[in-house]
Chains A and B, each alone.
Chain A
Amino acid sequence: MSRDVETPSEPGIRIRTEVRAPEAPPAAAGTAITLRQVNFAYGDNHVLHDVSMDVDEKRVTAFIGPSGCGKSTLLRCLNRMNDLIESAHLTGSVLVKGRDIYAPGTDVIAVRRRVGMVFQKSNPFPKSIFDNVVYGLRINGVHDRATLDAAVEKSLTLAALWDEVKDRLHHSALSLSGGQQQRLCIARAIAVEPEILLMDEPCSALDPIATLKIEELIYSLKERYTIVIVTHNLQQAARVSDKTAFFWLGRMVEYGPTAALFTNPREKLTEDYITGRFG
């Protein structure tokens, strides 16, 4: 292989701009994200090793694994949120719908519009509910009131929040409960109509009832979106996802249909983790 990907045993990782992935196969129909030989490092800290996987379109894919295994880092590679960290280096290729999002000249802003993200801790802006939902549209130049109104109703309905907030759209988003805030963040993410929705432990700060609502939401959203969810909660992964990837120490140990992975893991490590022997 001519690709500039080093094996983990070699020290350091080269700067990403040298990497091209010309011979990466075009994404097959039904594949939303294609990862090939993805390596990632913060400075000298090599966090991800040779991750290659295909994420199915309009399915829910869960990343599980113990803390520090690199699953959140991998998630943040999918919309280039790791660009914010100065010493971050990535090699290998990340293709979203067949396009390498790390290719030189890629419009990062456009990538982030296509790949939305919901964070671990809900982060509504200190603005009204309405202004939160339309934020992504406004920064993309949509100011027509009717369009914005329609988008707010649609997104909040999809996020199963419309009935709870329709009478107080112009109240501060911070007046909502934790679970509502997280659903608002989901509404905000889908208002810009992304193709893919990344969720970084979206329920970790929520009570069981709010968690249940988000899980139902995830289930209904997969008709429209490809969803990748990082979770610490194995039951949650089992409940909401179609496929699950298990990560350990920066490597993807096993990836397959959720039912198979949880009932009949191929790897001993996976079995140990899901049966609670470590983690």
Chain B
Amino acid sequence: MTALDLRRRATSRAVEVFCAASVLLALVPLGFILFFVLRQGVPSLRPEFFTQMPKPVGEPGGGMANAMVGTLILIGLATLIAVPVGVVSGVFLSEYKRSRMGSAVRFAADVLNGVPSIVVGIFAYSVAVLPFRRFTALAGGVALGVMMLPLIVRTTEELLRLVPESFKEGALALGATRSRAVWTVILPAALPGIVTGILVALARVAGETAPLLFTSLNNRFFSTRLDQPIASLTVQVYTYANSPYEDWHRQAWAGATVLIAAILVFSLMARFVTRRLERMHRGTA
């Protein structure tokens, strides 16, 4: 073997090692987070955690049933707000790619995506809390919805662009109008990916705390009313973790565990739904 060959092999080997090390390094934080949360959270997770309400300080036990329901309601509201607006905007961007309005919207979505979540919270506070002089679940939904919006807009746009132009041509050649072609052929073709994007966005905002602090606030009682403050897992964890009580710290760890598990479930659902929809499309089912 020549010296050159040896050097090539050594370089190749070094790059491989470097790549593997980087991957490991990237996974280390995730590993640590899971390790600590599970170690502290799992022992405090008892069945009543899912069924009971928070207990007053000093009384052991109790749960976060209200906060779990609250989080579901909040992300449900956020989805109702963000999905219609986001998908329609995504369609606009993919249909009017080069229009001035299109680039403005695209830029705005990217900026919005980078706005710190606390700022989104302040925005929601000023438009959905101040005028009504009340913290409400709805305001929390607005805040989370605004956070989801740019994610949904950009995923929808990207996925619509991946739909072959030939589908659109086919629809137009049959006498479809452009909007008809989009709604009946192009959007359905991109649907699996869009659904995934929505679920990923959901998983992301489900873990937000800051936008909820001064919108939906918190609620020690069970509430499903949209015009009242509502509890959420994240705010509950935040409150408990900040408290001086040992019991509450345990509850906070348990809450964090549930949150992580829920986000994992969302991600798995996203994969599952995507596969199902894609298979339906391809007709191999």
A and B bind = yes
- B112 on interface, CB distance cutoff 8 Å: no
**Known: A81-B169, A123-B164, A123-B166. Is A188-B281 also a contact (CB below 8 A)?**
no
Let me know if B175 and A126 touch, CB within 8 A. Answer: no
Let me know if A135 and B174 touch, CB within 8 A. Answer: yes
A109 and B170 CA atoms in complex are apart in Å by 13
Let me know if B170 and A127 touch, CB within 8 A. Answer: no
A169 and B284 CA atoms in complex are apart in Å by 14
- B171 on interface, CB distance cutoff 8 Å: yes
Which stretch from A25-33, A44-52, A112-120, A249-257 is at the chain B interface? A112-120
Let me know if B174 and A79 touch, CB within 8 A. Answer: no
Let me know if B167 and A112 touch, CB within 8 A. Answer: no
> Which of under 10, 10 to 19, 20 to 34, or 35 or more describes the interface residues of A?
20 to 34
Let me know if A125 and B283 touch, CB within 8 A. Answer: no
A6 and B172 CA atoms in complex are apart in Å by 30
A81, A128, A138, A172: which contacts B173 (Cβ < 8 A)?
Answer: A81
A113 and B171 CA atoms in complex are apart in Å by 11
Let me know if A123 and B169 touch, CB within 8 A. Answer: yes
Let me know if B281 and A172 touch, CB within 8 A. Answer: yes
Count B interface residues, CB 8 Å: 22
A79 and B282 CA atoms in complex are apart in Å by 30
Q: Interface on chain B toward A: helix, strand, loop, or mixed SS?
A: helix
**Known: A81-B173, A109-B177, A126-B281. Is A119-B166 also a contact (CB below 8 A)?**
yes
Which stretch from B42-50, B122-130, B180-188, B221-229 is at the chain A interface? B180-188
Chain B 162-206 against A: per-residue CB contact (8 Å), 1 yes, 0 no? 001011011111111100100011001100000000000000000
Let me know if A123 and B184 touch, CB within 8 A. Answer: no
B169 to chain A, nearest CB (A): 6
Please name the residue on chain A nearest to B176 by beta carbon: A139
Task: List A contacts of B189 (CB < 8 A).
Answer: 125-126
A112 and B181 CA atoms in complex are apart in Å by 14
A173 to chain B, nearest CB (A): 7
Let me know if A135 and B283 touch, CB within 8 A. Answer: no
- B280 on interface, CB distance cutoff 8 Å: yes
**Known: A123-B170, A172-B280. Is A192-B188 also a contact (CB below 8 A)?**
no
Let me know if A139 and B180 touch, CB within 8 A. Answer: yes
Please name the residue on chain A nearest to B175 by beta carbon: A113
B283 to chain A, nearest CB (A): 2
A124 and B283 CA atoms in complex are apart in Å by 12
Please name the residue on chain B nearest to A109 by beta carbon: B175
Task: List B contacts of A188 (CB < 8 A).
Answer: 170, 174
Let me know if A79 and B283 touch, CB within 8 A. Answer: no
Residues on A lying within 8 angstroms of B by beta carbon are 79, 81, 84, 109-110, 112-113, 116-117, 119, 121, 123-128, 135-136, 138-140, 171-175, 185, 188-189, 192
7 A-B residue pairs with CB within 8 Å: A84-B172, A116-B173, A119-B169, A125-B188, A185-B170, A188-B174, A189-B173
